[in-house]
Amino acid sequence: MHLLLISQDFPPDVGGIQTYAYELARRLATRCEDFAVVAPARPGADAVDASLPCDVFRVRASYNTFGLKAWRTVRRLARQRGFDTVFHAQWSSGVGSLLARRFGGPRRLFVAAHGRELLLEPMAGIPLLGRLYNGIRTHVLHEADGLFPVSHFTRALLLDLGLPAECITVIRNGTDPVYFHPMNAETLRDDLGLDHQKVILTISRLVPRKGIDTVLRALARIVPHRPDVRYLIGGSGPDRERLETLARTLNLTDRVHFLGKLPRDELRRYYNVCDVFVMPSREEKPYVEGFGIAFLEANACGKPVVGARSGGIPDAVQDGVTGLLVEPDDDGALADALLRLLTDASLAARLGQNGRRRVEEEASWDHVADQLYQAIAGQV
């Protein structure tokens, strides 16, 4: 297979789709006869490109113009190196490939789907432009030879847009069980002054839809039963001030620690220092949790997880197997779920072990790359 991976979301930019595209690029490069990446030019890109076992072609473009500006690069690579198949990390960059196809570019086009990009309507306030935007999105998706949503929630969004079920294959996200693994975190525990306290952890962008306010309200219910509990919040974002105010209002200031944005090299240490990871994201369309890779990262470190029944989270968290699910915004149910895991050591250990096993057996990036390669190869 001669395959191009094309994504406007790619490191050194940071985010879930960036991780998805980079981790798949690392692995697809070893599975294809020829493989390359087309991504936006960014400061710091040289170090990223040097870490990959393939060529990376950078296009000077803004986030919103990348799809169109990449078409000449895609056409040139198709003609010069025989790339006849393209895989897009999301639909918007597919515009350039469809244009390139009209002028001798790749014949086959495949598109991943994550969630928000299928619900986003940036031109909604301008009726004519809104219809044009939605029309382009629908056209790109219908022209694709295969669609790969990361969850059953995202699959339903594609069906709602009128895409035929036979073109849709759910391929869930993954993580790296070699990098994220159980490890001793006593040094970090000592540095944070946690002693033998029970630790709840959230790592996410600090925005309202992540449901961190629900965790704080649940924590206020938990404290009378577990006065030894502490809550660590890793991440940055515009909601921090509101969350800090809520923590003070609930008299939780001495139990809640805002850690700020954590470097990737530190993430696994924090996953290992916690007793349970929680992220009860709510649906605030178009901003939804299409999957939730953080749940798999915590599971890979042997930790039980708690999420909400919203978006694609039920694909990331197997209720009663790798973690527990509660309804969004239900702080009472969330408190009960967290208390179960904080007080029942055998249950917490079993869910964490199941989560680690699941990542190793079916939810690693290696497995995702294999599934994606086989799905594309079956149609080229």
- 94, exposed or middle or buried, with CB in 10 Å at 0-12, 13-18, 19+? buried
Q: Specify whether the CB–CB gap between 302 and 352 falls below 8 A.
A: yes
Report in angstroms the alpha-carbon separations of 247 from 35, 118, 173, 194: 49, 34, 33, 19
Residue 145's identity, in one-letter code, is: D
Can 2-174+364-377 and 186-362 be said to share one CATH topology? yes
| Mode of pairing for the β-strands spanning 305-308 and 323-326 | parallel
Say which residues have a Cβ less than 8 Å from residue 190's Cβ, sequence separation at least 6.
none
CATH of region 186-362, choose from 3.40.190.10, 3.40.50.1100, 3.40.50.2000, 3.20.20.140: 3.40.50.2000
Span of 74-78, 316-320, 322-326, 340-344 with lowest mean pLDDT: 74-78
Mean pLDDT for the chain overall: 94
- 269, exposed or middle or buried, with CB in 10 Å at 0-12, 13-18, 19+? middle
Measured CA to CA, the distance from residue 272 to residue 322 in angstroms comes to 16
- pTM for the full predicted model: 0.93
Calculate mean pLDDT across residues 21-43. 96
Report in angstroms the alpha-carbon separations of 193 from 186, 196, 211, 230: 10, 9, 26, 11
156-167 tens-digit pLDDT: 999 999 999 999
CATH topology for 2-174+364-377 is: Rossmann fold (3.40.50)
Measured CA to CA, the distance from residue 223 to residue 207 in angstroms comes to 24
Helix boundaries (H) for 257-344? 264-273, 293-300, 313-316, 331-343
Domain boundaries, the chain: 2-174+364-377, 186-362
Q: Residue 378: which pLDDT band, with cuts at 50, 70 and 90?
A: confident
Q: Which two tokens stand for residue 351?
A: 């869910």
